[in-house]
Amino acid sequence: MQYQWIDGIMLFIKLMEVFILKKNFEYILFDLDGTLTDSGEGITKAVQYALKYFGIEVSNLDDLRKFVGPPLKESYKNFYGFDDEKADLGLVKFREYYIEKGIYENKMYSGISEVLEKLQKSNKKIIVATSKPEEHAKIVLNHFKIDKYFDFICGADFKETRVKKGDVIKYALEEAKITDLSKAIMVGDREHDIIGAKENNLKSVGVLYGYGDVVELTQARVDYIAKEPKDLLEILL
């Protein structure tokens, strides 16, 4: 009960800041998993499949929700103590399942298409910046028919040399030739989205309908909070 009360106060403060700190952003960078689409089922099943290869049985997919969002290789290391070689093999096994089935075990959050359409009509430059491999991101966006809203789709490479969120955001800024960082903002659902934005001197929006919560996002020093997709328009327009 005490934590719920504290969460409520933190959320109220962040929502009030929307009206106090609002700026005119021209470039909107979006995370993908947990921000545009709810990809939890496909990702957790692919991780479950990969872990089973290593003799690790996880029956409850909720125990693998922590894999949604952060770079996969780092998650293998952090949560299961994999070394580089084992984590690389884990990526291979993950993709075996994900490419065939998991990429489609996914759903777009209600209201996202309308948000993207309004941003586009307001002449915003809309960019995806995801730790998911770039080619996978393109497949997902095309599947949901929202790729038409994005000026740039930027993600990790298959060799995982560009996978940390700060590196992906830097790459997206370079691809879009954004030099005035005060005109750009990052939207994501997890702390690594917020930390990556700060590493690149960007403001950030944390969404609460994904896989993070107000405590995680606030501790990462998020600038704005959106409870639902429609709330993004109050911040971004």
Kindly report, residue by residue over 16-32, the tens digit of the pLDDT: 555 555 568 999 999 99
- Please tell me whether residues 136 and 215 are part of one structural domain: yes
Last residue of a domain, one of 104, 135, 155: 104
Q: Does 193 have pLDDT greater than 80?
A: yes
Q: Is residue 31 annotated as a catalytic residue, yes or no?
A: yes
pLDDT digits (tens, 9 = 90+) for 119-178: 999 999 999 999 999 999 999 999 999 999 999 999 998 876 788 999 999 999 999 999
Average pLDDT over residues 99-119: 98
The predicted structure's pLDDT at residue 158: 80
CATH of the domain at 18: 3.40.50.1000
- Please tell me whether residues 134 and 21 are part of one structural domain: yes
pLDDT digits (tens, 9 = 90+) for 32-87: 999 999 999 999 999 999 999 999 999 999 999 999 988 899 999 999 999 999 99
- Please tell me whether residues 125 and 73 are part of one structural domain: no
Select from 236, 229, 235 the least CA-distant residue to 111: 229
Catalytic residue among 31, 33, 223, 231: 31
Q: Does 210 have pLDDT greater than 50?
A: yes
For 186-198, letters b (16+ CB in 10 Å) and e give bbbbbbbbbbbbb
Q: What value does the mean pLDDT of the chain take?
A: 92
The predicted structure's pLDDT at residue 161: 73
- Please tell me whether residues 143 and 63 are part of one structural domain: no
Select from 131, 181, 172, 134 the least CA-distant residue to 151: 172
Q: Does 1 have pLDDT greater than 50?
A: no
Kindly state the helix (H) or strand (E) to which residue 37 belongs, with its residue range: strand 37-38
Q: Does 5 have pLDDT greater than 70?
A: no
Select from 163, 169, 105 the least CA-distant residue to 133: 163
The predicted structure's pLDDT at residue 71: 87
Last residue of a domain, one of 76, 104, 132: 104
Average pLDDT over residues 79-101: 96
Last residue of a domain, one of 87, 104, 121: 104
- Please tell me whether residues 51 and 25 are part of one structural domain: no
Domain that holds residue 84: 40-104
DSSP helix/strand/coil, 132: strand
Q: Does 194 have pLDDT greater than 90?
A: yes
Confidence at 228, pLDDT banded by 50, 70, 90: very high
